[in-house]
Amino acid sequence: MSGRRRLDWLGLTPEPERELPTAVAALRASTRTGPTVRPARPRERTPEELAAAERRRVERLILRGSRHSWLRYLTEVTDLVTGVAAGSRSGDPAAALLAGEVVLDHHRMLIGLPGPGYGRTAAARTALESAVRALRTRTNTPTHTPVPTHTRTGGSR
């Protein structure tokens, strides 16, 4: 082992860093339940503060994390998304859909990177595909690339 840190897992699109923090913060906030045994806080954090904290977490993972810690984080996000899709967890379906699509795209692109990431995310991809289908139906949101319903051929107008 050379001692050099492998960073090939960072060679993906910027969507996870840009889009996940706000969506994940919304999902985490919506899954909190009523009164529990928690230390008293002076006030609840605003959605902006929650998103900023999630953004810092993602930045920390990218700057100081490893492939393993990044995939572990994405597993947490997958659990939030699939829980909302299944109805076993409360949450904004639109935020869950966005997070699910971003993580699913990320996991699909792992096929082009060295290492075991693509194989390790096979079960998550299957779960996310199902969750994204369910969430799209619930939110009536089209897919990223709409399929035309008819094709115009020939020169007639």
Look at residue 40 in the predicted model and tell me its pLDDT: 52
Q: Give the ranges where 14-121 is alpha helix by DSSP (H).
A: 15-30, 47-64, 67-86, 93-109, 117-120
Q: How far apart are CA 143 and CA 133, in angstroms?
A: 9
pLDDT bin (cut points 50, 70, 90) of residue 83 is very high
Torsion of CA 8, 12, 18, 24, to 10 degrees: -80
> Whole-angstrom distance between the N-terminal and C-terminal Cα of the chain?
66
Look at residue 27 in the predicted model and tell me its pLDDT: 95
The fraction of the chain above a pLDDT of 90, given in percent, is 50
pTM of the model: 0.77
- What average pLDDT is seen over the chain? 81
DSSP state of 8: G
